[in-house]
Chains A and B, each alone.
Chain A
Amino acid sequence: GQQLNQSPQSMFIQEGEDVSMNCTSSSIFNTWLWYKQDPGEGPVLLIALYKAGELTSNGRLTAQFGITRKDSFLNISASIPSDVGIYFCAGQLSGGTSYGKLTFGQGTILTVHP
């Protein structure tokens, strides 16, 4: 099946630093989604991207849908301790028999030191 390569696998940063992570795919997607998972909970959507080249912000988070439709990145500015968690990218095709299915990256584990 389709594979998403997400990097880095883990990050250890100091509070206040900026963070950048990305996802690349061998296939194109119509939608890119970024989720965050807190320990012991299910993933929660952070940002959704629907158009190639789109740049979208949500507070301190900024994500972009790559022009080739095969990649996406997420930036977190001025990190705080509550940013700790696992961040997942997910690609989605639309229409036809896709039925909203998502393909997930392996996740980036973020640790923020106060």
Chain B
Amino acid sequence: NAGVTQTPKFRVLKTGQSMTLLCAQDMNHEYMYWYRQDPGMGLRLIHYSVGEGTTAKGEVPDGYNVSRLKKQNFLLGLESAAPSQTSVYFCASSHTGEQFFGPGTRLTVL
């Protein structure tokens, strides 16, 4: 089992550009989450999904959109990137308790 995988690992964008981050899990988990990690602030929840076809807002959803068309995939989109979205993005999945994290995507917006 690969667990939780994320693509790409690194990306540099210019302000205003768009991109999609892909998260995939092979553990048949119902719940999936997107976090951003900034220095000194821990991990903050952006959006989450409780099952295929569902999405919900987390703590810091502004500027991001998500989709869960297939149970194993959870996509995070930035329609118009801003420098404030420079961060490390983590995807996680869970059944009910422990969340399993992917390796992260480091995004820089210039």
Query: Which A residues lie at the B interface, using CB under 8 A?
Result: 1, 4, 6, 9, 31, 33, 40-45, 48, 88, 92, 94, 99-102, 104-107
Contacts and interface: CB of A to CB of B under 8 A. Distances in A.
Contacts of A104: 42-44
Interface of B: 4, 31, 33, 40-45, 48, 50, 56, 58-59, 90, 92, 94-104
A100 B99 contact: yes
Contact of B98 (A33, A40, A106, A107): A33
B41 A106 contact: yes
19 contacts: A1-B59, A9-B40, A42-B92, A42-B101, A42-B102, A43-B43, A43-B90, A88-B43, A94-B96, A99-B48, A100-B31, A100-B99, A102-B43, A102-B45, A102-B99, A104-B42, A104-B43, A106-B42, A107-B42
Contacts of B97: 31, 48, 92, 100
B58 A101 contact: yes
A interface, over-half SS: loop
Contacts of A4: 42
